A and B are shown apart, each in its own frame.
Chain A
Amino acid sequence: MIELKYPFSRDEVRKLKVGDMVLITGKLFTGRDAVHKYLHEGHPSPVNLKDQIIYHCGPVVMKDKHGKYTVTAAGPTTSIREEPYQWQVMRDHGIVGVIGKGGMGPKTLEACKQYGAVYFHAIGGAAQVLAERITSVDGVYLEEFGSPEAIWELSVDKFPVVVTMDSHGGSLHKEVEEASKENLKHLV
Chain B
Amino acid sequence: MAKKTKKKVVKKKSTVKTKKGSPDQQAIETLVELIRVTSTVIPADVDRAIEKAKGVEKPNTTAAYAMNIISDNIGLAKTKSQPLCQDTGTVVFYIYHPPGFHQTPFIKQIHKAVTAATKKGYLRENSVNSLTGENAGTNLGAGHPSIHFVEHSAKTLEVKLMLKGGGCENVSTQYSLPDTGLSAGRDLDGVRKVVLDAVVKAQGKGCGPGVLGVCIGGDRADSHAHAKKQLFRKMGERSKIKELAALEVEIVETCNKLGIGPMGFGGTTTILECLMDHRNRVPASFIVSVSYMCWAFRRQGAVIDTKTMKLKKWLY
Contact = CB atoms under 8 A, between A and B. Distances in A.
A125 B259 contact: no
Contacts of B88: 60
B10 A61 contact: yes
Interface residues of A, number: 60
Nearest to A123: B69
B226 interface: no
Interface of A is mostly: mixed
Contact of A101 (B12, B82, B167, B258): B167
Interface stretch (B149-157, B201-209, B215-223, B278-286): B201-209
A128 interface: yes
A72 B83 contact: yes
B66 A146 contact: no
A126 B264 contact: no
A184 B295 CA distance: 22
10 contacts: A61-B10, A78-B166, A124-B294, A125-B207, A143-B9, A146-B7, A147-B125, A172-B265, A172-B266, A173-B204
A177 B203 contact: yes
B207 A124 contact: yes
| Shortest Cβ-Cβ A-B pairs, 4 listed | A146-B135, A102-B205, A125-B296, A124-B207
A68 to B, nearest CB: 11
Interface in B57-97: 62, 65-66, 69-70, 72-73, 76-77, 80, 82-88
Nearest to A129: B73
Contact of A78 (B70, B77, B128, B205): B205
Contacts of B137: 146-147
Given A21-B62, A73-B86, 6 more contacts: A77-B87, A102-B204, A148-B125, A160-B69, A176-B261, A176-B264
B125 A127 contact: no
A103 interface: yes
A63 interface: yes
Nearest to B193: A188
Interface centre among A142, A148, A160 (most CB of B within 10 A): A148
Interface of B is mostly: loop
B126 interface: yes
Interface string A23-56: 0000000000010000000000010000000000
Contacts of A63: 9-10, 12
Given A177-B203, A187-B257, A129 B69 contact: yes
B238 to A, nearest CB: 22
A148 B126 contact: yes
A177 B258 CA distance: 10
Contact of B196 (A121, A145, A184): A184
B124 interface: yes
Contacts of A177: 200, 203
Interface string B280-301: 0000000000000011100000
A5 to B, nearest CB: 21
Contacts of A175: 266
Given A63-B9, A147-B9, A58 B200 contact: no
B62 A73 contact: no
Contacts of B85: 73, 75, 124-127
Interface string B184-209: 00000000110011001001110100
B5 interface: yes
B133 interface: yes
Contacts of A58: 86-87, 124
Contacts of B73: 123, 125-129
Interface centre among A127, A128, A176 (most CB of B within 10 A): A128
